[in-house]
Homo-oligomer: A and B are copies of this chain.
Amino acid sequence: MSQNVYDQSEFFENYVKLDRQTKGLDGAPEWPRLREMLPTLKEAQVLDLGCGFGWFSRFARSGGAARVRGIDLSEKMLEKAHSMTADDGIAYEQADLENLTLPDDEYDVVYSSLTFHYLTNLPSLVAEISRSLKRGGRFVFSVEHPLFTAPTTPSLVVVDEDTGRKAWQVDAYQQEGLRTRSWFVEGVHKQHRTMSTYINLLLSSGFRLTDFVEWCPSQEELKSNPGWDVELIRPTFLLVGAVKD
């Protein structure tokens, strides 16, 4: 079973204050690029894995999705999602994504935002996703970028005293597995995977890669958000689109 940090009060109280929770999808800088990877949602059967407050599930319905199924491990997240939703076309459900069985040939779109890097057993979930997608169906997801998750100790941008050069310290890119981070609380468990592991998981599960974005702010976005310049040093988000063959 996955770690459920979202249901820890101290974590949750801080998490809900993030832009991407208060403002929804538009509070997530990478959302516009992820949205571009989506096919039409009109009449689509949609699965939202790690749905959180349900921002994407509601977006999908507003885009014409026939039905949306949102799954999350966190009770607190789902409570909040329920409180924000009045729509019979959306079904929220509590489940552990590491032990999920999905129906055959059911979905047109499977979406997941910043969830997979919490899961130990991603291969079995990707196999389920592949089986549950209709042929030609789309799989669109984001994860924390492998360069971001690579360091074994909480890594910072280090400034060289002599040159002023800022650099990200990568110490174990090829060593996959647990990374323990401090994020609102101590001991948040994440899983580091290499780029090849993500890509080969798709290629070996019946997907064809269609979109691949290492998110980077535009010059315009940097002007409004100067702090995002750390993204030029190394990306935080990897956005991927694939089609079921």
Contacts and interface: CB of A to CB of B under 8 A. Distances in A.
Nearest to A231: B174
Interface stretch (A4-12, A16-24, A194-202): A194-202
Contacts of A235: 173-174
A151 B147 CA distance: 13
Interface residues of A, number: 36
A168 interface: yes
B167 A169 contact: yes
A31 interface: no
Interface stretch (A41-49, A70-78, A209-217): A209-217
A213 B194 CA distance: 10
Interface in A126-175: 147, 151-153, 158, 163, 165-175
Contact of A174 (B169, B174, B203, B214): B214
Contact of A232 (B166, B174, B232): B174
Interface of A: 147, 151-153, 158, 163, 165-175, 194-196, 199-200, 203, 208-214, 216, 231-235
